[in-house]
Amino acid sequence: MSQCFQFKQFTVHQDRCGMKVGTDGVLLGAWAEGGKHILDIGTGTGLIALMLAQRCPEAEITGVELDEQASLQAQENVTMSAFALQVKIENMPIQQFSKQQLLHSHFNAIVSNPPFYHSLKSKSNERTMARHTETLTFKELFQAVNLLLAPNGCFSTVIPTEELDAFMSEAYIYGLFVSRLVMVKTVETKKPKRCLISFVKQKPLRFKTEEVTIKNAKGEYTPWYVQLTGDFYLK
């Protein structure tokens, strides 16, 4: 695994982060809805925060990260980028961050690539922290989103397909309703492996659902994926 990942407008160093740059983060950073005030829960390397800074030049973005080493590296990635004035990194649990009343209902957009492995402990403690729901359960995530999201804001995330039902049920308990859902296949012959999903506080009359594919039968990236990520990947 490379210790740095070069995008068109920024570089992500990742040697001190449990979760490396991957498809889930890139998909979410390119797909998520933006806003004037954006929160990235579990920012890790700062990848999604940087992608949103590139997409939303007027936005003020806060990345919250529990792991100290990851937050330091995210801050370095931000500082070395052209988006240093847009993005700030906070090293604390989102449970603590969300207790700040001045920030309640503050964020127009919230994004998170949340921990989702309930078993299979990783050899790396940092990777375990980044990938397991022990440090941030779905309940705690939605409690924080409910407090911090503005009334007309949007929460965007990416999750494994097998977690979708439990995730949507927990969201409903905290007054969050699906507004967009994209089922993502890695290749056409496989079932969807991950879902891009967004939530709002006001229940929509209906929500848009679509199914997309990352690679075609020849192993080439599909037009959907190329168009979505074209502003970020080097050719």
75-116 per-position pLDDT tens digit:
999 999 999 999 999 999 999 999 999 999 999 999 999 866
d(CA 97, CA 108): 16
70: nearest Cα among 37, 25, 107: 25
Residue 133 pLDDT > 90? no
Residues with Cβ within 8 Å of 194's Cβ and at least 6 positions away in sequence, in order, are 23, 24, 27, 158, 159, 160, 161, 184
Domains in the chain with CATH codes: 4-229 (3.40.50.150)
DSSP secondary structure letter of residue 188? T
What is the band of 132 on the pLDDT scale with cuts at 50, 70, 90?
Answer: very low
d(CA 1, CA 3): 6
Write out the DSSP string of 108-175. EEEEE----BSS---SSHHHHHHHBTTSS-HHHHHHHHHHHEEEEEEEEEEEEGGGHHHHHHHHHHTT
d(CA 26, CA 228): 10
**AA identity, residue 231:** D
Residue 56 pLDDT > 90? yes
DSSP secondary structure letter of residue 7? B
> What is the structure's pLDDT at 81?
97
H-helix or E-strand spanning residue 28: helix 23-31
What is the band of 136 on the pLDDT scale with cuts at 50, 70, 90?
Answer: confident
165: nearest Cα among 138, 145, 125, 200: 138
Antiparallel, parallel or unpaired: β 177-187 and 194-200: antiparallel
State pLDDT tens for residues 178-214: 999 999 999 999 999 999 999 999 999 888 899 999 9
Tokens of 168: 């949507």
Residue 3 pLDDT > 80? no
H-helix or E-strand spanning residue 214: strand 208-215
> What is the structure's pLDDT at 129?
45
16: nearest Cα among 127, 133, 94, 134: 127
d(CA 38, CA 48): 11
**CA separation, residue 197 to residues 17, 183, 207 (Å):** 25, 9, 10
> What is the structure's pLDDT at 62?
98
Q: Which residue has the higher pLDDT, 76 or 234?
A: 76
Residue 130 pLDDT > 80? no
> What is the structure's pLDDT at 2?
60
Location of structure tokens 């709002």: 200
What is the band of 134 on the pLDDT scale with cuts at 50, 70, 90?
Answer: low
State pLDDT tens for residues 146-189: 999 999 999 999 999 999 999 999 999 999 999 999 999 999 99
> What is the structure's pLDDT at 208?
86
Tokens of 95: 């449970």
Query: Is 0.75 surpassed by the pTM of this model?
Result: yes
